[in-house]
Amino acid sequence: MEVEMSDLKAHSCEACSPNASKATEEEKQQLHKEVPDWEILEIDGEEQLHKVYKLKNFVKALELTNKIGELAEEEDHHPVVVLEYGKVAVSWWSHEIGGLHKNDFILAARTDAAFNDMQ
C-alpha cells in the first residue's frame, strides 16, 4: 500500500479484500497526521479510528449521521456510528482485515469534511 501525503479526503478508496494488507506502523503514522483529531484505539483486538463530534442539537447530529451514512454507502465501507443528542461518535476500520487500512483514513478525512461543511 503506497501512502501519498496530500488532501486525503480527495483520494479514492480501493477495494479491500480479506487478504489486503493492514497499514504498517509507518503508514499509520503518516496517514494519522492528516486526521490528527482521530484516536487510534484497539477494540476487541482490532485497531480503529475513533472520533466524537459535538453538535448543537439532535437535528444537527442526525444530519451528520446521515452524511456519514451516505459516505459509507458510496464506498461500501461501513463504520460504527452512535447518535446522541448533540453528539455523534464514529469508528472506522476495515472489518475484512481486522484493522486499519488507508481507506479508513480517507473516510475519516471525508467525515471531517462533512462535519466542517455543516459549520
Determine the Cα angle at 75 with ends 105 and 109, to 5°. 25
Residue 50 cell numbers, joined = 475513533
- Distance, in Å, from the CA atom of 70 to the CA atom of 54, rounded to the nearest integer, reads 19
- Distance, in Å, from the CA atom of 56 to the CA atom of 17, rounded to the nearest integer, reads 38
Closest by CA position to 91, among listed 101, 105, 81? 81
Q: Which pTM value belongs to this model?
A: 0.91
pLDDT tens across 92-118, in order? 999 999 999 999 999 999 999 999 999
Residue 83: predicted pLDDT: 98
- Distance, in Å, from the CA atom of 72 to the CA atom of 92, rounded to the nearest integer, reads 10
Determine the Cα angle at 96 with ends 26 and 2, to 5°. 30
Q: What is the CATH number of domain 41-119?
A: 3.30.1360.20
Residue 119: predicted pLDDT: 87
